[in-house]
Chains A and B, each alone.
Chain A
Amino acid sequence: DAEITQSPRHKITETGRQVTLACHQTWNHNNMFWYRQDLGHGLRLIHYSYGVQDTNKGEVSDGYSVSRSNTEDLPLTLESAASSQTSVYFCASSESGGKLGEYFGPGTRLTVL
């Protein structure tokens, strides 16, 4: 069965470190998304991609970067982790021209100390 996976599921890091969160989908979807979820907020879009070599900034992209070298993967990098980036991160995918975030991964809980 097709799926979307994230790793690690939990991560604790220190301020200033570089952190990369992995997202892998086997739906063969062109569209992939990264969101963060914080208490008292709905999900907020960090970055998204329409396909290989395409990346776009979302609402809260400062301090984050993504790269899309193949269809299956969209890793999210925190260049220099800050305590404000403590959050739960969700990756999602959808088919081309399709719905916003049709399938979501299980999430990565990141704590920045």
Chain B
Amino acid sequence: GEDVEQSLFLSVREGDSSVINCTYTDSSSTYLYWYKQEPGAGLQLLTYIFSNMDMKQDQRLTVLLNKKDKHLSLRIADTQTGDSAIYFCAEELSGGYQKVTFGTGTKLQVIP
């Protein structure tokens, strides 16, 4: 079955770059997503990438997709304390919304 894995925790200093990684097992993914969840709040869609793309950049966010290794990463440039949150990757497979798997989340701690 499908599985999406993330490391549990990442700590970085303010101003440094953060790289959050995600691996998935199903090669039939159509879209891959990154969400941010702040304490007590719902998820916020940050960005997404089509599976036929290798990279997508959106201001301070860069998404890299390595389909061969089934590896997805989110790079946050110039990390700020407001970036402290839990980050989830999610994989949507062909077949629609019912074929969706979320990772367990990576908690990003930004140290001032």
Contact = CB atoms under 8 A, between A and B. Distances in A.
Given A99-B33, A99-B45, A106-B40, A56 B98 contact: yes
Nearest to A56: B98
Interface residues of A, number: 25
Interface of B: 4, 31, 33, 35, 40-45, 48, 88, 90, 92, 97-98, 100-105
Interface stretch (A13-21, A40-48, A63-71, A74-82): A40-48
Q: Is the interface of B mostly helix, strand, loop or mixed?
A: strand
Contacts, number: 63
A51 interface: no
Contacts of B98: 45, 48, 56-59
Contact of B4 (A42, A45, A103): A42
A102 interface: yes
Top 9 nearest A-B pairs (CB, nearest first) are: A42-B102, A104-B42, A43-B102, A104-B43, A48-B97, A42-B103, A42-B104, A90-B42, A102-B45
